[in-house]
Each structure stands twice: as structure tokens, then as C-alpha cells.
Amino acid sequence: DAPCADFSSVQIARFFAAEAQRFRAAHPRCAALHAQAQRHFLFGVPMHWMADTPAPFPLFVDAAQGARLVDADGHEIIDFCLGDTGAMFGHSPAPIARTLAEFGAQGATTMLPSAVALEVAALLEERFGLPMWQFTATASDANRFLLRWARAITGRPRILVFHGCYHGTVDDCFVDLAEGGATRMRASLLGQVHDLTPTTRVVEFNDSAALEAALAPGDVACVLTEPVLTNVGMVLPEPGFLQTLRTLTRRHGTLLAFDETHTLSCGPGGYARAFGLGACRTLGVDSENAPQRGQFLPDSPPHSGTMGQEDGKKWAAAAHSQPMIPKSDRLLEPDMLVLGKPIAGGTPGAAYGFSAEVGARMQAAKAAAAPGHSGIGTTLSAGLLTLRLMRTMLAEVMDEPAYARMFATATRVAEGLQAQIAARALPWSVTRIGARCEVQFRPTPPCNASEARAAFRDDLEAALQLALLNRGVLLTPFHNMVLACPAHTAQDADTLVAAFADALDGLAGA
């Protein structure tokens, strides 16, 4: 067993075995449900990846409210996973429960427009700056349709994504960077028989030179990216990288699409509004203060208070003047934008927005096409009930005070985790962006997905996650991500940090 800067694989395995035993002993009913479920479900779960848990069997959930889950064995758990963002504003916020009670008997879906759709679009424009919108059932669909439109209106076959991206079940995006800069299919993809590599280019995030080279031939319809990569650990943009991305895409006639499904955790208008130069000016904050890689050196706090409670208050002030940001200042303004997960209160619902110019080109493309199936849209999209839930979320739930609470909790968690790491001199780092933070097993935040992936330690991650679950705290499976919702309290943050410290002590003693 090679010596390791933190914990040896033998220690991790011993600790994991003890925690797995503890989990089994505490969850007899979950175990029984999982055994019964084998008859009906793949891997004993209604969606196969629910079985990808570090626990010996999945936690079956009876109820969820605010920041709490109750499992089938009656344990109350503080939920920092929040359905991997679908419940980012807490489980069943009161206005959502009220909307369901009020409108649940007035129709869910009609395949016809409604006045409430106009209200939702106005609320979206006010926050995100883009005037035109379409709705889908999931963020995956929104990304898929957006790419189809982008190809249709530019007449260009290729798209570009960054290594380590995840945009939902969008086939075009399941590629990785191979040796020598080539694109290869993602090895884990099941059942895909078409070669995606001729039509998707992939480069490393934060690599402006590779980006420029990939856009230079002028055949890329669209760059689709999260403003911060959040699905390969967390990778922050280097100072100026997103501005370069905007400049280069404009120069080469390529559309820029931001997938803000996760970075909606950065503020009421997502990352682009929180950290675009225009937004920073409006808030009286220097854009240099936007959390970017390089600022979070190990011995400075890993977030420099850049999105603490004070910023939430500034947002509150800024958001009340209309328009929030002068148009000329929107230097990070994308051509297209995707929102999903929490925006319909945790029920299926997503949206994509675009500029009026892009909208005009879409209309022209559709008008010029043969009548019939466009390949864009599904029957359950833009339903009456979904739009009512979105209106409630935008008008009553996703507000500045909610963000201020989320940032305060996430800051407390990130500082607490960092302190525990520092106290043990572990070579790990914590990165926070708004309400979201991530522990990564390397001393500095990664610059790109290759660096982030090189720091993956599946055994260590599983041991920590399971230990936290045994101590009443759920993190997002697949990575060490903590997401704060408005219902979390300072005490919840402290419980998480104490559980983390206890787990580290357990590992050290194993």
C-alpha cells in the first residue's frame, strides 16, 4: 500500500467497511424495500443511477420538506444534495404547495398557450436579460433543442463543448478530449451507435488558444457550456476566459449558449448576471472580485467572501431598479441560455431563452422548412400547471433574501470544511460559487477537467459520503458537492462540518 499524503487505501477500505455495517444496521426497512424492488426495477431502483450510491443499498425516502428528508427507517436527514439542484430552494416551499392546492384542479396540460406563459416570460427576461423563451420538460431537452436550433439557423454542422461537460442526456455532448487534442466518444455512453466525433469538437475549459483554433474554421454552430463546470468536480473560469469566449464566438459567427441549470445557484440571474462585467458594475463590485480560479489559494479563504450575505443584499438593491443591468453592459451576454431543475418547484420544467435576433432566425428557419416534425418540442412542455409553478418560483421563491440565506449557509460550510482540512494539513481544497461548494482532493482548485478528474478518488469520496450519511447529512452522490437551500440554518452548516470532522478522525484512526 503506497504511502499517501492523506489516507491510505487500506485505511479508507477499513473505515468504509465499518460505515457500511453501521448503515446496514440502521436501515432494515430500506434494505427490505431494496430487496423487494429487484423484481420490478433495474438494480432495484426506479431510475438506474439511484443505485450509484456509496451506501450498501440506496436510502428510500418517505418525505421531504425544506432542507430535511425522512427515510423509510424514520431517520431525519439534513439534505445538502437537494435532488442535485432540482430542490435548490428547499423541498416543497410553501408557495409551491399553495400553487398546487390552488391550481391542481384546473388542468395540467393542454398543448395550448396561456396568459400565464407571458407572465413567466416577462419574469425570465427581467432576470436573465433575454427576451424570447421556449419551454421544455427537462434541462436535457432544453439543451438538445437549443443545439438543434443552433445548427438549423447557422447551417453549420458542428458544436463545441468543453472537456468534462455534462448537459443532461444530450448525445452530442458525450465526448471527451483524447490524446493529442482529438475528440472521442465518452467511454461510459450506452447504446449510441452514431459516431459523434465528426460533429462535436471538444477543448479544455480555460484554454483560449485551443478554443480559438477550434472556432477558426468557421463551421461551429454553437458553443454550449456552463459558465463554471460543475459536473466534473468544480472548475472555475480563469480571469477573462468567459469574456474571451464571448469575443471569439462573436468573431467566428458562433452562437454562445450558457447552460445555467446549476449556476443558477450564483444569484437570481445566474452566473452571467452575477459576474458579468455589467452586473459587477451595477452592484458596485469590481469584476475582478468575481470568484475565479487563482483567487482561492490554499492559505486564503477559498471564496474570499465574494458571495456572502452582503452580496445578497446588494443584489436585492440592484434587482429593484429596472432594468437590472443596462443592455450595453452585458458583456457576458450569451445568445442562448438554458435553465432547468428548480425552476418549476422541483417538478419537471425547463426553459431556454435567446436574443430577438436569434429568435428571428429560428422563425425564418422553421418557415423555410418542410411542414411536419421539427424534432423540437414534446407534448408535456409548457403545460399550464408547470408554468404556474414557474411563475410562483420566479415571483415568490427565488428572491434575493432566499439567495442571501443560501450564500450565508454555503459560506459557513465552505469556511468550516476548509478549517477542518487546514487543521489536518490535508492537501485538499474547497471551492465555492454562490450557494454551491465542492471539496476536491488536490491542494488548489483545478484549472480544467483533466486536472479535476486526476484528483478523483472514488474510494475516499464514497467513504466520506457514507460517513456523512450515517451522521445525518446527505451530499450529492457522484461528487463532494454541497448545495445550500434557503431552509438550511447555521446549525445545519455546523452539523455538516462536525460530521465531516468526525469522519476525518474516523479515517485517521482506521
Provide the binding-site residues for ligand PMP, judged by CB under 6 A. Answer: 84, 138-140, 143, 166-168, 226, 231, 259, 261-262, 340-341
Nearer to ligand PMP, 280 or 338 (CB): 338
Least distance (Å) between residue 206 CB and ligand PMP: 17
Least distance (Å) between residue 139 CB and ligand PMP: 3
Q: Are residues 272 and 360 in contact, defined by beta-carbon separation less than 8 angstroms?
A: no
DSSP-derived secondary structure letter, 290 = S
Quickly count: other Cβ atoms within 10 Å of residue 201's Cβ: 24
- CA 307 → CA 59, 194, 240, 285, 490, distances in Å? 33, 43, 19, 11, 16
Nearer to ligand PMP, 54 or 168 (CB): 168
Least distance (Å) between residue 338 CB and ligand PMP: 7
Query: Which amino acid appears at position 195 of this protein?
Result: D
- CA 400 → CA 29, 394, 408, distances in Å? 40, 11, 12
3-state helix, strand, coil in the chain (%, to 5): 45, 15, 40
Instruction: Return the C-alpha cell found at 379.
Output: 407534448
Least distance (Å) between residue 42 CB and ligand PMP: 17
Measured CA to CA, the distance from residue 473 to residue 500 in angstroms comes to 9
Instruction: Return the C-alpha cell found at 305.
Output: 467572501
Least distance (Å) between residue 350 CB and ligand PMP: 7
Measured CA to CA, the distance from residue 302 to residue 416 in angstroms comes to 11
Measured CA to CA, the distance from residue 417 to residue 235 in angstroms comes to 18
Nearer to ligand PMP, 16 or 352 (CB): 352
Provide the CB-side half-sphere exposure for 313 (13 A, CA): 4
Nearer to ligand PMP, 84 or 451 (CB): 84
Least distance (Å) between residue 292 CB and ligand PMP: 19
C-alpha 345: how far from chain center? 15
Nearer to ligand PMP, 235 or 499 (CB): 235
Measured CA to CA, the distance from residue 430 to residue 415 in angstroms comes to 8
Alpha-helical (H) ranges within 294-344 are 309-319
Least distance (Å) between residue 262 CB and ligand PMP: 5
Nearer to ligand PMP, 127 or 479 (CB): 479
Nearer to ligand PMP, 30 or 175 (CB): 175
Least distance (Å) between residue 397 CB and ligand PMP: 18
DSSP-derived secondary structure letter, 11 = H
Strands (E), 168-283: 175-177, 183-185, 200-203, 220-225, 255-259
Nearer to ligand PMP, 168 or 446 (CB): 168
Nearer to ligand PMP, 138 or 448 (CB): 138
Least distance (Å) between residue 168 CB and ligand PMP: 3
DSSP for 414-472 reads HHHHHHHHHHTT-S-EEEEETTEEEEESSSS--SSHHHHHHT--HHHHHHHHHHHHHTT
Least distance (Å) between residue 141 CB and ligand PMP: 7
Nearer to ligand PMP, 86 or 506 (CB): 86
Nearer to ligand PMP, 201 or 262 (CB): 262
Nearer to ligand PMP, 59 or 229 (CB): 229
Instruction: Return the C-alpha cell found at 326.
Output: 443596462
Nearer to ligand PMP, 348 or 416 (CB): 348
Going by C-alpha positions, the residue among 280, 270, 157, 300 that lies closest to residue 220 is 157
- CA 127 → CA 109, 115, 144, 284, 333, distances in Å? 26, 19, 23, 18, 12
Least distance (Å) between residue 340 CB and ligand PMP: 5
Instruction: Return the C-alpha cell found at 278.
Output: 455589467
Task: Please identify the residue of the shown chain whose CB is closest to the bound ligand PMP.
Answer: 168
Least distance (Å) between residue 333 CB and ligand PMP: 19
Measured CA to CA, the distance from residue 385 to residue 379 in angstroms comes to 13
Alpha-helical (H) ranges within 129-207 are 139-154
Least distance (Å) between residue 110 CB and ligand PMP: 23
